[in-house]
Structure 1
């Protein structure tokens, strides 16, 4: 039996979606973020030393990292749906998007989130706020902002010509890509990217995705 160690408002939601698509038998162990720090609870370290979610307990031990979990599930359970593409071009796209999600898209997205929180904390005392704002704006404008914008343009261009990220059917690449894209849509950062918005709606309309939301509980997207 598989057990997904599921943290609210986290990347583990997309693993729930994949397991629903694959129709595998699994249990869910629920964890809640700290209300002050928003971090995962220490109890997750008992499952895996990193103490982060998702973690999947398997007959072979605990496995962490979304991409590794996706590959494990696809390798062991995918048959007619969500299988690794066999056609050469689709397979190459599969590898690319599977790693692009966390390697290129998520870092500037997380950096923007962290820096905006730093901006908010810098509002007290009041005379610190202009300094904090200038520092945050400088970092965002110099690197993270342009990096994220470039990635969004690339994703938008690809999705304007393709329904899914790796071939004619959804794959593990889509499982990886949905988390950052639905976050960008929910936060309003993708308001000018029609193809990305349509893609997120397409995923959200899938029965397995809806079932995963019902099982996973709280999920704020952004």
Structure 2
């Protein structure tokens, strides 16, 4: 089998259970890069921003992304975006030779994306929502406590993390050193980096390397195709 994904023929059909404004979008980008056929089953968040109950019929945790992969008589249901990324690359991605440093980068940033970066962004996004859901007479107290938590924990951490990423991307076109294209780390990291932009934690002036990297990803034909099938 050739290592060029665009020249392979896959006897498979993957279903991506895609929740709006979720990590599922980067799975579509990966599948477009791999030229693997897939279908998108779309779900809309409820007013409380949670996933609809219908996702529980696909996976017991009822979250997105989830993929179903039917291939050669085997049917797989897999959740967790990092696990999905690793599974798809191992099964359909061919082999990319990386140096030991590049392999370590790929490993580190793939897991860093979900274990460190994304939780910081999610906490920052949700703190204000928590206060708004408290009884009206407790909201001032909740806002004070949550704001103090944000100032003490989240705000100091985001600049340190952003600077680390900025320095890395200033010296490397992709997260895995020596790579000539996206690896697992890039697919894992893009959603968090977009979150930094949305949260105004970085700007083109303060973090030019991160901004250029995001623009480069957004310009890729596979990423644009994934947006058409998923959502902006």
Q: Judge same fold: TM > 0.5, yes or no.
A: yes
Number of corresponding residues: 212
* Other-structure match for 1:46: 57
Of residues 191-200 and 91-100 in structure 1, the stretch that sits farther from structure 2 once superposed is: 191-200
Of residues 16-25 and 113-122 in structure 1, the stretch that sits farther from structure 2 once superposed is: 113-122
* Other-structure match for 1:162: 172
Residue number among 133, 153, 156 corresponding to 1:143 in the alignment: 153
Alignment RMSD, CA only? 1.7
Residues 135-154 of structure 1 show CA distances to partners (whole Å, capped at 9, x for unaligned) of 12211122122222211111
Distance 1:12 1:212 in 2: 10
* Other-structure match for 1:13: 25
Counterpart of 1:40 in 2: which secondary structure? coil
Deviation of 1:129 (Å): 5.0
Deviation of 1:194 (Å): 1.4
Correspondences of 1:177-196 after superposition (within 5 Å): 177-191=189-203, 192-196=206-210
Deviation of 1:86 (Å): 3.2
Residues 154-199 of structure 1 show CA distances to partners (whole Å, capped at 9, x for unaligned) of 1111111111101232112101000010121133221121111111
Contact 1:74 1:84 in 2 (8 A): no
Contact 1:55 1:64 in 2 (8 A): yes
Residues 120 and 195 of structure 1: CA distance in aligned 2, closer, same or farther (over 3 Å): farther
Contact 1:84 1:172 in 2 (8 A): no
Residues 25-45 of structure 1 show CA distances to partners (whole Å, capped at 9, x for unaligned) of 1111111111x1111111111
Counterpart of 1:58 in 2: which secondary structure? strand
Distance 2:86 2:66 in 1: 13
Deviation of 1:85 (Å): 4.3
Distance 1:194 1:131 in 2: 38
* Other-structure match for 1:57: 68
1:77 to 2:92 alignment: yes
Unaligned runs of 5+ in 2: 1-12
Counterpart of 1:86 in 2: which secondary structure? coil
1:102 to 2:114 alignment: yes
Residues 129 and 40 of structure 1: CA distance in aligned 2, closer, same or farther (over 3 Å): closer
Contact 2:121 2:195 in 1 (8 A): no
Unaligned runs of 5+ in 1: none
Distance 2:100 2:147 in 1: 43
Distance 1:39 1:177 in 2: 23
**TM-score (structure 2 length as normaliser):** 0.86
Distance 2:24 2:91 in 1: 18
Consecutive aligned runs of 4 or more in structure 1 exceeding 3 Å deviation: 83-86, 119-122, 127-130
Deviation of 1:133 (Å): 3.1
